[in-house]
Amino acid sequence: MTSSARAFPASRAGAFRQHPLVERHAPIATIVLILIAIWYIAAVLMNLSLVRDHFEREETPYAVSDLLEGTMSAERPLLPAPHQVIASFAESVFGYALTSPRSLVYHSGVTLSATLLGFVLGALLGIGLALMIVHSRVLEKSLLPWIICSQMVPILALAPIFIVALGAMGLQGLLPKSIVSAYLSFFPITIGMVKGFTSPDPMQFDLMRTWSATPRQVLSKLRWPSAIPYLFASLKVAVTISLIGAIVAELPTGAEAGIGARLLAGSYYGQTIQIWAALLASAILASSLIGLVDLTERVVARKMGTRP
């Protein structure tokens, strides 16, 4: 075999490792595999005593292999194994009609509706507050500290208050959950946009004043373009917080639909696999929403002639 022939497989392997898709996804895949391995180890350790107690109560002889198999297939494990969660998730998604109360797609759709409405309300409120703060020193000194203080109270304590108060006002269903979601999501957008609107160099503001630009022109020609990167960074944080707010808002209401309802039902009946399947659905939903915001950012950046 010639040296060129021996070098061909090595060069081919090197080219494979340098492929853009491999370079981009290999680190992520490695981390995921490590986390799954840790998850399996934790499931064995946490479920081991549960399975051993079961064998001893039944007075059934067992071997180490029986214990390991039991930790991977327990009906109500302390920590379900990844394959149990995936199997339950697949059954809930593909095993029922989309409108069935047992379908995770149905529950995810209910939570997604509240999330999107709350996200839009929070984005509008956050941008509006940021505009007022950057145009008024009085509001910057008086309003901004209260906006920061508003996030110091845990949402688990505030959500029941919001739900009860809004219910007394006749607001029920989707809107109260959306308001809780908006309450969480407006904060990062407000802070991010205040930073974005004030990010241009002071010399640029002086130049606009030299040109006798109106406040509206300064906003449209200088402040707003400079704030776009801050806007999308804030939106990525806000959209995930909106989802958390929608799920948390479903808990104190005893809702019959939504991911929060699935979590409640699983906790009531000790169905840990159902709980983890609902958590997996929320993680997929959050990743999809972040991906949508990221795609929108790329489209906007391309139209503006900048890099995201």
Question: In CATH, what number does 104-304 get?
Answer: 1.10.3720.10
* Digitized pLDDT (tens) for each residue of the chain, 308 residues in all: 555 555 545 555 555 456 666 677 778 888 989 999 998 899 888 888 888 887 778 777 777 777 888 888 888 888 888 988 999 889 888 888 888 888 888 888 889 999 999 999 999 999 999 998 888 788 878 888 888 887 887 887 777 777 778 777 777 777 888 888 998 899 999 999 998 888 887 787 777 788 877 778 777 787 888 888 889 999 999 999 999 988 988 887 666 788 888 888 888 888 888 889 999 999 999 999 999 999 998 988 888 766 65
Angle at 162 between CA 161 and CA 167, to 5 degrees: 100
Q: Is 17 exposed, middle or buried (0-12, 13-18, 19+ CB in 10 A)?
A: exposed
DSSP state of 151: T
Entry pTM:
0.80
SS3 91: helix
From residue 194, how far is each of 24, 82, 99, 182, 297 by CA, in Å? 33, 42, 42, 18, 19
Q: Beta-carbon neighbour count of residue 85 at 10 Å?
A: 22
The residue extents of the domains of the chain are 3-75, 104-304
